[in-house]
Chains A and B, each alone.
Chain A
Amino acid sequence: MLRINSPAELEKFRKGILSKRDPNKPCITLCSGSACHASGSGDVAASLEAEIEKQGLSAEVDIRRTGCHGFCERGPIIVIHPEEICYFQIEPKDVPDIISQTIKEKKVIERLLYTDPDTREKIIHESEIPFYKNQKRLVFGSNGSIDPKSIDDYLAIGGYSALAKALSEMSADQVLGEVKKSNLRGRGGGGFPAGRKWEGSRNAPEPVKYVIVNADEGDPGAYMDRALLEGNPHAILEGLTIGAYAIGSHEGYIYVRQEYPLAVENVNIAIRQAEAYGFLGKNILGSGFDFKVIVHQGAGAFVCGESTALMTALEGRAGEPRPKYVRSNIVGLWGRPSVLNNVETWANVPLIINKGADWFTQFGTEGSKGTKIFSLVGKITNTGLVEVPMGTPLKDIIYKIGGGIPGGKRFKAVQTGGPSGGCIPEDLLDLEVGFDELTQAGSMMGSGGMIVMDEETCMVDVSRYFIDFLTDESCGKCVPCREGLRQMLKILTRITEGKGKEGDIELLEEISETAKDAALCALGKSAPNPFLSTLRYFRDEYEAHIREKRCPALSCKELIAYHIDPARCQACMICLKKCPAEAIVGGKNRIHVVDQKKCTKCGTCFEACPPRFAAVKKISGEPVPSPIPEAERTIIRKSKEK
């Protein structure tokens, strides 16, 4: 492989790549991110290759295995260029048709297209599908068009031009100035202005400085950093190198969870390629600037996403946060100035350098500039990764892009910001997403997880779930977090089991205050948020559990019961046969009754009862009606007697 020694050589090389690429040659891009991989994109790729070979088209069609396209609900996804025909949920059996009809005869296969759920209209092009149409994919957009294992693909879309520009046309101060002006805020949780963080490190007297990528994404349901690192690793390396240049660092680290094997693989490949081309290493692009990057795999502790715990872990010790009151951009890794930003933050940097802070700041709100990638999961029709300008109303993300709540259920809340975030209720759906806006609503931006909940979600149980998660993930060093969470979990569990008592809410509030004010790190300080925000908006649910022993969402097992309405039961035997606990008494033409002693409340009967009968009822907070007397259980079917 050749080494590129100057920006001019880079441009020449780029032209060389582009001149060999025919934009009109059919190219099949197949999403091969972790989510699509799990739904079978590996088999689809093998079938594609075999079929193209079989039909003798190897020279006429390109296949590109790309990173995540975002629409994970409908994976594996194929996009056929240059027409941008988009097919969803592809299986190997669809492949022969795709090759013979779409590639050879340019015919669109209707059954593989996206169907608009409202209009029932088939949509051919990716850009016209509501899920994509309403997004602004500045950072995430390239994922679908490049093979993350190919540096030439990245160069073909203008890759490393920002690095070349920074090194050859800008001083370190100018780079820093541009990032400061862009008001880029950290996408990992805190939303601290990246430029100010960089400046602190740059001005610190210690000459050896580090830049670090936080790829220890651990929030349940959040996976945008994984998708970026898997799908576009060079963008992160380019951003990191620019950051290193700005602060005067010559060594960078990528702290990535070992649970992300594909991300680890792709970023390692990217580093080797970048070193070979001369984008990393000594005298980058002939500028005299040296920079190397080392990948460190984390051992899977949520707390290591916290900056000082991450640095302690990088040093080879148990990942626990440091108690010091010094910012890590001044005294960080091995006691030296260290700039730590998360994957998405670094990925924004090349865009800012290439297009300028003025371009960047046109997106977003006063306090939050640019776009943000959210992972939209939970009770939502279109699960996936979405990128929108800061300031987009929550409603638009959930309904226009996310397609609303499936199954005709009613929206209840959206949990943002991961375990330390909070739940936002329906009447705040007009809220424009931004760092400060979400904090004011009692939640936070966090890394951008959005878990949508419908009417069947119990908010007390949600709070219990997140506290349970944090109890497990707390490092256990400080008392307010370790012991506070231990007790909070006990109390919340008690409440969901119908054993809550007066004073529990106040006690939880008191423990929350101690954790918030006295815990050592951000994990502990924000740990009570799931409780505090659900209490703020759904206090009535807590009170119903404690006072009436009732779960309004009909979700907490200990507080609900199933019974069969004798007036509606048609004795069809469906629920009786399906009940795994043999808790349903009845027979042919005998009205069924749930034996409450045997019932395990699994809900199978409730699901099984045909909707036209709707005889199985789920209740909470009221006594179960006594079963209909044996003598009255026989159904006399007049129509059948004839």
Chain B
Amino acid sequence: MSEILLQIDGKEVRAKEGMTVLEAARSAGITIPTLCHHEKLEPFGGCRLCIVEVEVRGWTNLVVSCVYPVANHLIVRTRSEKVDRIRKMILELLMAHAPDAFELLELAKEYGADRNRFEKEASFCIHCGLCVRYCAEVKKKNAVGFVDRGIRKEISFIPEIASRECWNCKECFPLCPTEALQAAFVLTKALYSPPPSSQSASGE
């Protein structure tokens, strides 16, 4: 594979063809914040927090670094007024769901995000999809998935698979940046194995 030379935040960075800007930056010790990224998983491009400015032939563009491929002569700026403003808004939007998530609080400090900018939402889930993708791509079990779409989109354990697979795995739990995952699992377990009395009463 041929070597690629690009510039990130004024620093010459060597990368391999096929790498993403995020990978190249991290290999050079440059930090770009992410929420939905995981080394073992295919890039998802969902949280958009890793947005950066790239300059190609004099044209500046905003791209997400977790999927944008490196190229020779590419100029990357991981921080700018615009990038910071977008990250701040993304964090504020997410903190309507998970105002106490440690990772979000740390990032909020960095970007000056107000955790109370928006009214609180009922669900903690920030839809990073780490659990869903880890279960599908690494464990190949598909015990947890997304259901519905748009603002009604939620993560949900598939009871039949979850009751069989999850108890001894739970590898997705530490991946979750919020409390949503464990809560969803507890709910699924409760639904799937109701106490004997309610089982007969449900009439199903």
Does A pair with B? Answer: yes
Known: A472-B150, A485-B151, A519-B48. A325 touches B90 (CB 8 A): no
Stretch from A47-55, A111-119, A166-174, A510-518 that touches the partner: A510-518
- Would you call B119 an interface residue if the criterion is a C-beta within 8 Å of the partner chain's C-beta atoms? yes
- Asked if residues A483 and B96 are in contact (CB atoms below 8 Å), the reply is yes
Given A325-B67, A514-B86, A517-B82, is A482 in contact with B45 using a C-beta cutoff of 8 Å? no
Of A218-226, A239-247, A473-481, A627-635, which binds chain B?
A473-481
Interface size on A, residues (CB 8 A): 31
B111 contacts chain A at the CB level, 8 A cutoff: no
Cβ A514 vs Cβ B89 within 8 A: yes
The CA of A555 and the CA of B70, in the complex, are separated in Å by 52
Q: A323-B44, A485-B151 are in contact. List 4 more A-B contacts (CB 8 A).
A: A475-B149, A476-B149, A483-B90, A517-B62
- Chain A residues whose C-beta falls within 8 Å of the C-beta of B85 in the assembled complex: 510, 513-514
**27 chain-A/chain-B pairs, Cβ below 8 angstroms:** A323-B64, A323-B67, A325-B68, A474-B150, A475-B150, A476-B146, A476-B150, A477-B44, A477-B46, A479-B49, A482-B127, A482-B151, A482-B153, A483-B93, A483-B97, A484-B89, A485-B150, A485-B151, A486-B93, A511-B93, A514-B86, A518-B48, A518-B51, A518-B62, A520-B46, A520-B48, A520-B64
Partner of B93, one of A324, A325, A477, A484: A484
**With A324-B67, A483-B93, A483-B94 as given contacts, are A518 and B86 in contact (CB-CB < 8 Å)?**
yes
Contacts of A473 in B (CB 8 A): 149-150
Instruction: Judge if B43 is at the interface, Cβ distance under 8 Å.
Output: yes
Set of chain B residues within 8 Å of A472, measured between Cβ atoms:
150-151
Q: Would you list which residues of chain A between 107 and 129 have a CB under 8 Å from chain B?
A: none
Is residue A490 within 8 Å, beta carbon to beta carbon, of the partner chain?
Answer: yes
- Chain A residues with Cβ below 8 Å from B63 are 325
Which of B67, B86, B150 has the most CB atoms of chain A within a 10 A radius of its CB? B150
Chain A positions within 8 Å of B149 at CB level: 301, 303, 473-476
A477–B129 Cα distance when bound, in Å, is 9
Q: Does B69 contact A (CB under 8 A)?
A: yes
- Knowing A324-B67, A325-B67, A520-B48, say if A479 contacts B150 (CB, 8 Å): no
Do B67 and A476 have beta carbons less than 8 Å apart?
no
Kindly provide the distance from the CB of A230 to the nearest chain B CB, expressed in whole angstroms.
28
Q: Which residues on B sit within 8 Å (CB–CB) of A273?
A: none
List B contacts of A381 (CB < 8 A).
none
The secondary-structure label for the interface of chain B is loop
A-B pairs under 8 A by CB, number = 105
Q: Which residues of A contact B45 (CB under 8 A)?
A: 323, 477-478, 520
- Who on chain A is nearest to B68 by CB? A325
Inter-chain CA distance A474–B150, complex, in Å, is 4
Q: Which residues of A contact B (CB under 8 A)?
A: 301, 303, 318, 323-325, 471-480, 482-487, 490, 510-511, 513-514, 517-520
| Interface: B118 (CB within 8 A) | yes
Q: Which residues of chain A are near B127, meaning CB under 8 Å?
A: 476-477, 479, 482
B118 partner residues in chain A, CB cutoff 8 A: 487
- Among B49, B93, B97, B153, the residue within 8 A (CB) of A476 is B153
- Within 8 Å CB of A477, what residues of B? 44-46, 127, 129
Contact check, B96 vs A487: say whether CB atoms are below 8 A apart.
Answer: yes
Asked if residues A471 and B89 are in contact (CB atoms below 8 Å), the reply is no
Min CB–CB distance B91 → chain A (angstroms): 9
A478 touches B48 (CB 8 A): yes
Contact with A along B125-162 (1 / 0, CB 8 A): 01101000000000000000010111111000000000
Which residues of B (85-114) have their CB < 8 Å from a CB of A?
Answer: 85-86, 89-90, 93-94, 96-97
- Which of B43, B62, B97, B153 meets A323, CB within 8 Å? B43
Q: B23 to nearest A CB, angstroms?
A: 14
B181 at interface, CB cutoff 8 A: no
Closest chain B CB from A250 CB (angstroms): 30
Measured CA separation A485–B153 after assembly (Å): 13
Instruction: Write out the residue numbers on chain A whose beta carbons fall within 8 Å of the beta carbon of B75.
Output: none
A318 to B86, CA, bound (A): 28
Which B residues lie within 8 Å of A479 (CB)? 46-49, 90, 93-94, 126-127
CB distance from B51 to the nearest CB of A (A): 5
How long is the Cα–Cα vector from A477 to B82 in the complex, in angstroms?
22
Q: Is the CB of A471 within 8 A of B150?
A: yes
Q: A325-B68, A325-B69 are in contact. Are A486 and B90 (CB under 8 A)?
A: no
Distance to closest chain B CB from A467 (angstroms): 11
A520 to B45, CA, bound (A): 7
A479→B107 CA distance, assembly (Å): 16
CA distance A484 to B150 in the complex (A): 11
